[in-house]
Amino acid sequence: MGESPKLNLRSPLGRVLGLGSAKDGTAHWWAQRVSAVALIPLTLWFVLSLLWLPSLDYATVRAWLSVPLSGFLAMLLVAVLAYHSYLGTTVVIEDYVHPAGMKLLSLLLLRFLYVLVGGVSIFAILRIAIGS
């Protein structure tokens, strides 16, 4: 494909992987789109459910989230939301934080924070589901 057979500095492995200079090809872009599509029904379900509830007091919300289907969808929502948000804020940091050390540190902290927030949220939903 237009590459001179005499002057090719790319290794055969690099050519086969086809990931280019960013080292991860379109994986990040694709994951962002897939999670975005999944979030359309999940977020709409969540917002409409809350609006549909007769009241947002403790007993009503707790009873709603104790229904297995609601708890399951809420867990999916939190997981996909955290993933999609992680992908997006990662790009923001990569775009604006330039010193290599600061970039690495903030990306590391961001990843830890998202795993923490996702884990804590899912654990809270599980506690509501099993009523502890």
Contact residues toward another protein (CB under 8 A) are 33, 36-37, 40, 43, 47, 51, 56, 58, 61-62, 65, 74, 78, 81-82, 85, 88-89, 92, 117, 120-121, 123-125, 127-128
- Write down the least CB distance from residue 121 to another protein, Å: 5
How many angstroms separate the CA atoms of 89 and 114, rounded? 10
Report the residue number, 10 or 127, with the smaller CB distance to another protein.
Answer: 127
3-state secondary structure the chain: CCCCCCCCCCCHHHHHHCCCCCCCCCHHHHHHHHHHHHHHHHHHHHHHHHHHCCCCCHHHHHHHHHCHHHHHHHHHHHHHHHHHHHHHHHHHHHHHCCCHHHHHHHHHHHHHHHHHHHHHHHHHHHHHHHCC
Least CB distance to another protein at residue 6 (A) = 37
Task: Tell me whether residue 15 or residue 30 sits nearer to another protein (CB atom).
Answer: 30
Beta carbon nearer to another protein, 73 or 82? 82
Question: At closest approach, how far in Å is the CB of 112 from another protein?
Answer: 14
How far apart are CB 48 and another protein at their closest, in Å?
10
Q: Quick one: 20 or 41, whose CB is closer to another protein?
A: 41
Q: Residue 95: what residue type?
A: D
